[in-house]
């Protein structure tokens, strides 16, 4: 059974790496649904990852993230680079979802297999959105992409976690936010490598720039990199060249002194820890610790009938004993 699955998956992964779009869509579904074959798919793809630049694009709803991503993707395609896009929560009240939908249709129509766009459903992702996004990005990268763009609304903890997987983080702001620059989630401001002030056709772009500079002077530096600030009108493409330059500079900076490696290491340190946690929990569930049993313990602890500090070590021992007996 396992070998059958592994053989089938091997063929699928080979087709993914050869740039077969249907195979890519199938592989992504397997990963997104956390299916039985997901681990083999990811493991098969992993050796084919690492070369692409991963760019996270985040910012408040409607800031123009999809439009910026679209313009970047177009520029890179024109330069012959292969581009992957993962968009998380494109179904907010703004037009992002529709824009992406159009693009997916366009991509099918012109058969451009150098561009792949995937929308992530925010609900129903088994094991968390950050995990699913990271894994889907990896599969897309393995299909032979030079750049992977990950678009996400920068509001919740999930989104901050998603952006962590990026090598370069672009935060999109818009004029007319007033003091709201301060209210953008602090975690997102801190991890910004490049600020885009989009909708620069509106009044107040200079004010936003001033506010970012003020915040920058307060906070510490991100290594020797001072986040660059670029103004764009994404709808017309004005300023997008400046953004491309800023990304290129960041890529060069990351390339020196092992910085890219250091970033990816710190990302994987957290990620591996999370993977171990999940694997242990799964182990616990297959060795007699069902959700129902957790619920029963929770009820007893909540009503003071059971001591959680005694309970947990005994549960852990129980799992290891059960596992030992199975081996």
Q: Which does 234 bind (CB under 5 to 8 A by kind): ligand GTP, Mg ion, none?
A: ligand GTP
When the beta carbons of 75 and 235 are compared against ligand GTP, the nearer one is 235
Residues within window 63-122 making contact with Mg ion, judged by CB under 5 A = 65-66, 96
Q: Is 61 in the site for ligand GTP (CB under 6 A)?
A: yes
Place of tokens 């992530």: 120
When the beta carbons of 131 and 199 are compared against ligand GTP, the nearer one is 199
When the beta carbons of 35 and 92 are compared against ligand GTP, the nearer one is 92
**Angle at CA of residue 240, ends 234 and 241, nearest 5°:** 165
Q: Is 234 in the site for ligand GTP (CB under 6 A)?
A: yes
- The whole-angstrom distance between residue 99's C-alpha and the CA centroid of its chain comes to 20
When the beta carbons of 35 and 95 are compared against ligand GTP, the nearer one is 95
Q: Is 152 in the site for ligand GTP (CB under 6 A)?
A: no
Using the rule CB under 6 A, give the single segment among 159-167, 175-183, 228-236, 303-311 that binds ligand GTP.
Answer: 228-236
Q: Which residue number is nearest to ligand GTP in terms of Cβ?
A: 96
For ligand GTP, what does the binding mask look like between residues 178 and 207, x meaning CB under 6 A?
Answer: --------------------xx-x------
Residues within window 92-131 making contact with ligand GTP, judged by CB under 6 A = 92, 94-96, 99
Q: Which does 198 bind (CB under 5 to 8 A by kind): Mg ion, ligand GTP, none?
A: ligand GTP
Q: Is 67 in the site for ligand GTP (CB under 6 A)?
A: yes
Binding site for ligand GTP (CB under 6 A): 61-67, 90, 92, 94-96, 99, 153, 198-199, 201, 233-235
Binding site for Mg ion (CB under 5 A): 65-66, 96
């Amino acid at each position: 059974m396992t070998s059958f699955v592994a053989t089938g998956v091997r063929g699928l992964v080979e087709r993914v790496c050869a740039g077969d779009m249907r195979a890519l869509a199938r592989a992504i579904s397997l990963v997104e649904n956390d299916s039985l074959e997901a681990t083999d798919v990811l493991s098969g793809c992993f050796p084919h990852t690492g070369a692409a630049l991963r760019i996270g694009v985040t910012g408040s709803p409607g800031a123009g993230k999809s439009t910026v991503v679209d313009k970047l993707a177009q520029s890179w395609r024109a330069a012959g680079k292969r581009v992957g896009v993962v968009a998380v929560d494109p179904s907010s009240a703004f037009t992002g979802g529709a824009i992406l939908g159009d693009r997916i249709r366009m991509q099918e129509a012109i058969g451009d297999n150098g561009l792949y766009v995937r929308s992530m459903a925010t609900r129903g992702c088994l094991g968390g959105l950050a995990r699913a996004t990271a894994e889907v990005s990896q599969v897309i990268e393995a299909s032979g992409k030079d750049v992977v763009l990950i678009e996400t609304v920068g509001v919740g903890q999930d989104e901050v976690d998603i952006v962590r997987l990026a090598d370069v983080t672009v935060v999109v702001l818009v004029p007319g936010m007033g003091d709201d620059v301060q209210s953008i989630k602090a975690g997102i401001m801190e991890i910004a490598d490049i600020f885009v002030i989009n909708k620069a056709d509106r009044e107040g772009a200079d004010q936003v720039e001033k506010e970012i500079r003020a915040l920058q002077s307060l906070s510490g530096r991100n290594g020797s990199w001072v986040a660059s600030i670029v103004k764009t009108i994404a709808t017309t493409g004005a300023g997008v060249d400046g953004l491309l330059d800023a990304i290129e500079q960041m890529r060069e900076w990351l390339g020196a002194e092992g910085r890219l490696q250091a970033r990816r290491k710190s990302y994987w340190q957290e990620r591996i820890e999370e993977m171990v946690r999940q694997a242990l929990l799964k182990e616990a569930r297959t060795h007699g610790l069902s959700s129902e049993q957790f619920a029963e313990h929770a009820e007893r602890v909540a009503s003071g009938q059971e001591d959680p500090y005694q309970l947990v070590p005994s549960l852990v021992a129980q799992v290891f004993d059960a596992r030992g007996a199975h081996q």
